[in-house]
Structure 1
Amino acid sequence: SLKPYFQSILIPIQKGKVQASLKSEHLFVHGTLYYTNHIAIKDQKPIERFQFQAHQYGGLTHVRVNQNIDLNISSKESKLKLKDIDINIDHLLQYINTYLSNHKEKSASTIPYKLSVEGYHSTLFYQKLQLPSLSYHAVIQPTPFALTFTTHHDRGEIQGVIKNHQLVITGKDLSDKIIKGLTTLSYLHGGSFSFTAKGRVDNFQGTILIQDTLWAKNALYNNILAMLNTIPAVLLLKDPGFNKKGFKVQRGVIQYHFQTPTLTFENIILQGHSANITGKGHINFQADTIALRMQIHFLESLTNILNKIPIAGYLIFGDDGSVAVTLNINGSLYDPKVQTEAAKDIVKAPLNILERTLTLPFKLFE
């Protein structure tokens, strides 16, 4: 019977028409249903009209909906194929939990133990994250819950496993559009990104690798730029690397640790053409606050004019005549205060050492 598959997911049905016929143990059902749906989205709106055709025979059921959704159901597995349909994963998981609770007394043979989802030209929404993809494949095991997935994005891809409340996820060669949907790095423009994440779902750590991007157009950058423009040593530089257009990052590494609601930057190293940046700190998303210590090492030599620069405790002068500025950043995430601080090394590990921590791909749950 199709009834177990229509329960929960099609409630409450607003209106519709269904016709069924039985011929030589073949069950044919077709019709149109209208109901409030929170899982499937098209053109940024939840789909409310479902025109479907279904055929059941010998324990196998095939359902086609709106010409771009295909569902094949057997006693142990369901296969869902989508095209140009966005999916809200939060509501999908809610449905799975509701379905299982409504059918927990039934034998395992009547409930699909695995759901395989194949999607094309689709965006996946999960909590505040969004992941637009050219294609993806996911396998969901409802009980105990486990999720394995691969998503494709132009030349990049993301692979992941979530099982026993643990996750391992790797992403490689991703665009700024993809990384903005997954992280707080909305102020980076252009470039290529790779990342790893490993740990508990609410407590994980990893590394982000950055190449050829522009840091600009956010309050943190603007406030740092304003502070640098008050420092005489920086004003004497021909090309400090910071301007109104932004700071060009040639390559960089961020080591992070996320434990709800705090994102900790254990190490930040960004290399530019005229300056390098190191830092560490954290963001509290519940309070919308940031606390970050940052050191900017300008690569241009000031050897010939060092005697003209006022000596300040927040400046470090290298043997080659270069200068570094240490900054303390605190306050609102949307308008942090930037102050100079007594100079000291913040991150001592060189960039190439930190890059080695980014191993792609992980061996997923050996």
Structure 2
Amino acid sequence: MKVFKILVKISRKEVNVNKILNFIFKFLIFIVVLLTVFVITLKIGIKVDNFKISNFNVSGFYIGLNRNLVLKIEDLEIPISVKHKNENVETELLNITKKITLINKFFDEIDIKNVSLKNQNFALKFNHSVLDFKSPQISLKSYLIPVENGLKTNVESFVLNDFNLSLTGNASLNFKDKIYSFDGNFISSELNGKLRLTSDLKILNVEISDAKAKSIKNFMDEIALKTDMSRTTKNWIYGNIIADNYEIKKFVAKINLKSGEIFKDDFLADGILQNVSVKFDKKLPAVMIGEANVSLRNQSLKFNMENATYLDKNLTNSEVEIYKIFDDDSGIKINLHTSAPFDVKFNKILEAYDIRNPAVQSSGKAEIDVLLDIDFTTENVKAFANAIFKDSKISIGNAEFNSKSGEFALKENKIFLKNFNLNNEFFNADINGNIDFDTDSGNFDANFASINLPNEILSLKNFNDKISLDFKGKNVILKFKNLGADFSFGAQNSINLINISHLIKFSSLLKDIGVKNSNVKITTKDFSDFAINAENTYFDSIFSQNGLSYDTANFKILIKNGALEVKSDDEKISFTKNAKNSILSIKDLDVHIKASDDKKQNLNLNFIGVNSKIFIDDLNKTLNFKSYSGKITPQSSELNGKFAKGTFMFKRDKDLQIYAQNLESKDINDFLGRESVERGEFSLKLKGMSDKFYRGEIDAKNTYIKDYVYYQRLLSLINSIPSLLSLKIPDFNSKGFTVSDGKVYFERLGKIVKISAVNLLGSSADIGGSGIIDLDKDDIKVDLELKYLKDASDFISKIPLINQIFLGEDRKISTIIEIRGSINEPKFETKIAQDIISTPLNLIKNTLMLPFVIFE
């Protein structure tokens, strides 16, 4: 006020000039002194330990002057005003930065060691436009450039301690329009790359680009924490999927700064992973990927796999998609594509998710797409697949099959087969149907081009059937409705046929051996070798035991390396067959055949019999062999038998030959079916073109001929002739006609049997003869010459002339007996009267003179 009064007086010229100048000088000195004292004070600095102003608590206050002011504060506690009650640290900081231009003019340095605001602490330092801000969460060092409506900053360092993240770059702060941005680079313990941030203080937009890392574990931990991502989802993104190198081409996120909410649907990312391993399950080998393209859109994270392999399988063009990655119902879709076989290795992926596929492609061509949709919350797995097979080997259980082609589709819990071919040495079929994993079962329609079991056991063509599948247990079970068979595939494959009667017509072997029915179980490991149990096998039998038909038995059958072996449980029948020959063995069983059965058998069979008789049923004849062996082929047959004492040989190829030696009467009687001879020893020689044209010789020694029909009627004839009754013929007795040595020569010419000569020598009588038997007409014409009283004949033969009259040229007494009628009803007549005088037939002489020796 004094200054103003002086100025007024001057203006009114109430004071003189000298006084005025003197006052001005003194005033200036005062001002200079005052300023000097103030500057000196500021130069020295003003320190205040504690004070409070407007509710601000200040400790360790210092202000001084250098070129500009320097302000230092140890602790500054800023009260929360009502106006700024809801503002956070970032808002307060923005209020300060609005005054940055003014601060920059007056202050060289502002250094506040600790600022307490809203229970948060930070340090603040400002030096020549460089702001240094530090808090437990944030460290910032930035060059501030005031511009219209705000600031531009060159961020030398901006560290987010919670994220172990460091930023450098340029920021723009438009306070008027509330537009804030940052462009720069970031460095973390894992990721390094470019970063762009934009915000209006309500929404923060984050964009990362050209980022690279060796690991994203911590990054994913933070993302999972901030977004409430499930542990399973996080472990899939980083854990199940691991790469040597990560390259993030683009990552975009949006955050609500007021609430801290992350806009999950707005996440967007693109990247490349190199040298990637993907583990579908801990127990499985990893899928190895040279390079995988990654994209995130609408909460869906996709991995497109290039140069992917699973073990030795190429999975290029496969894809893994983790969907709804931030939601509670997140899950994963594994889409695998390969041209490799759908083998055991590939099938392990399905098994890891409890999908049991009963059929496996072990080799061949294929185009396969598999999609597994796994819900992380429920762990429910939906499976889809499409496959086309060609020229493949398919394994069901341990059984392996060939497949020309086939289509395979898996839809959630079902597999659909379309025109699926399966074939092996056993069958060839095209199959259509489905497999249900919920019930572990399936149903198919099968068209069998063929079903074949080795050695003509079974052969079907163009056979249709309905098949049911059951794989609940360890084995895979197939049931054939029309075939009546149950197949079990496992460590040991088996086929059960409860009743094979309907299959007999399809089996040449079963038809040939006359099988009518059986319960059959077949086991095999490879459908090449078989073990067969045939129980309660009923067959048209040629065998008998103790007079009863042997037509039911249990058999064990082995087929190995193409060879067949059959054996009955009681070991009475066995049969083996290989590439070289077939052998049938019979023990303690009798065999029934028919001589009239001239049907050609397409057989190559060797046979052996022990304690086995051969019955020729149509002839009512029996060969009571102790043992025999032989061979049958389409061109020939052979039999070699042993009786108790004698031997027998039959051979037929181009010619027919029969030899029997040292036969006993029992052997002859068994063969003829009646008591024809008693005691003695017999032999037979027969040779010819066939069983209709042959010649033969029978030898008999020291035997009695006692055939019921012929001998009794001959004996009756002799007893009825008085001239013979008056003679004593001891060779005709109750035992039969005694033969010390006998021969019969015969010949067959079609339906005619020619008895060329009969010569039976007894002690007191001999019989000789010849004749013809017509088999077609059942007519017999045989003439016998009976020589008797051999001792008297010898006496008379010594009397001259009389011997010629009574005995004839050979000096024997004889008679002629004619046998006529049928074979079973022969009639005997005699010509004794004239024979005594002339003996015109002289049959024995003719016999002895026959130039007939057929086996020399």
- Give the drift of 1:23: 2.7
Task: Kindly report which structure 2 residues correspond to 1:274-353, keeping only aligned pairs within 5 A, or say none.
Answer: 274-298=764-788, 299-301=790-792, 317=807, 322-341=812-831, 342=834, 343-344=839-840, 345-348=842-845
Task: Kindly report which structure 2 residues correspond to 1:158-197, keeping only aligned pairs within 5 A, or say none.
Answer: 158-164=648-654, 166-180=655-669, 182=671, 187-197=676-686
- Give the drift of 1:163: 0.8
Give the 3 Å change call, closer, same or farther, for CA 330–15 of structure 1 in structure 2.
closer
Residue among 456, 463, 484 paired with 1:4: 456
Unaligned runs of 5+ residues in structure 1 are 101-112, 307-314
Unaligned runs of 5+ residues in structure 2 are 1-452, 459-506, 798-804
Aligned 8 A contact 1:29 1:55 in 2 = yes
Residue-by-residue CA offset, 1:252-298 (whole Å, 9 max, x unaligned):
00000123433221100000011111111123344443211111111
Amino acid at match of 2:579: S
Separation in structure 1 between the aligned mates of residue 542 and residue 666 of structure 2, nearest angstrom: 23
- Give the drift of 1:135: 0.7
Residue 132 (structure 1) aligned with residue 624 (structure 2):
yes
Residue among 509, 519, 522 paired with 1:17: 519
Separation in structure 2 between the aligned mates of residue 70 and residue 95 of structure 1, nearest angstrom: 24
- Give the drift of 1:132: 1.7
Amino acid at match of 1:168: Q
Which stretch shifts more, 319-328 or 337-346? 319-328
Amino acid at match of 2:665: D
The answer for the alignment partner of 1:107 in structure 2 is: none
Give the 3 Å change call, closer, same or farther, for CA 210–355 of structure 1 in structure 2.
farther
More relative contact order, 1 or 2 (CA 8 Å, 6+ apart): 1
Residue 68 (structure 1) aligned with residue 568 (structure 2):
no
Amino acid at match of 1:61: L
Secondary structure of 1:55's partner?
Answer: strand
Residue among 37, 60, 63 paired with 2:540: 37
Amino acid at match of 1:40: F
Residue 234 (structure 1) aligned with residue 724 (structure 2):
yes
RMSD: 3.4
The answer for the alignment partner of 2:585 in structure 1 is: 81
Amino acid at match of 1:4: E
Separation in structure 2 between the aligned mates of residue 92 and residue 50 of structure 1, nearest angstrom: 28
Separation in structure 2 between the aligned mates of residue 186 and residue 288 of structure 1, nearest angstrom: 23
Separation in structure 2 between the aligned mates of residue 62 and residue 95 of structure 1, nearest angstrom: 26
Separation in structure 1 between the aligned mates of residue 587 and residue 643 of structure 2, nearest angstrom: 15
Which stretch shifts more, 151-160 or 281-290? 281-290
Q: How many residues align?
A: 335
- Give the drift of 1:223: 2.8
Aligned 8 A contact 1:227 1:339 in 2 = yes
The TM-score normalised by the length of structure 2 is 0.36
- Give the drift of 1:156: 0.8
Give the 3 Å change call, closer, same or farther, for CA 265–47 of structure 1 in structure 2.
same
Aligned 8 A contact 1:211 1:252 in 2 = yes
Separation in structure 1 between the aligned mates of residue 732 and residue 767 of structure 2, nearest angstrom: 11
Give the 3 Å change call, closer, same or farther, for CA 217–35 of structure 1 in structure 2.
same
- Give the drift of 1:323: 1.9
Amino acid at match of 2:522: A
Identity of aligned residues (%): 23
Residue-by-residue CA offset, 1:10-64 (whole Å, 9 max, x unaligned):
3475443211211365421113143331323333333221211122221222111
Separation in structure 1 between the aligned mates of residue 847 and residue 810 of structure 2, nearest angstrom: 18
Give the 3 Å change call, closer, same or farther, for CA 132–338 of structure 1 in structure 2.
same
Aligned 8 A contact 2:627 2:643 in 1 = yes
Give the 3 Å change call, closer, same or farther, for CA 33–303 of structure 1 in structure 2.
closer
Which stretch shifts more, 17-26 or 201-210? 17-26
Residue-by-residue CA offset, 1:154-193 (whole Å, 9 max, x unaligned):
22111121013x3011110112233345569963232211
For the pair shown, the structure with the greater C-alpha radius of gyration is: 2
Amino acid at match of 2:592: N
Aligned 8 A contact 2:681 2:701 in 1 = yes
Residue among 556, 570, 576 paired with 1:53: 556
Secondary structure of 2:791's partner?
Answer: coil
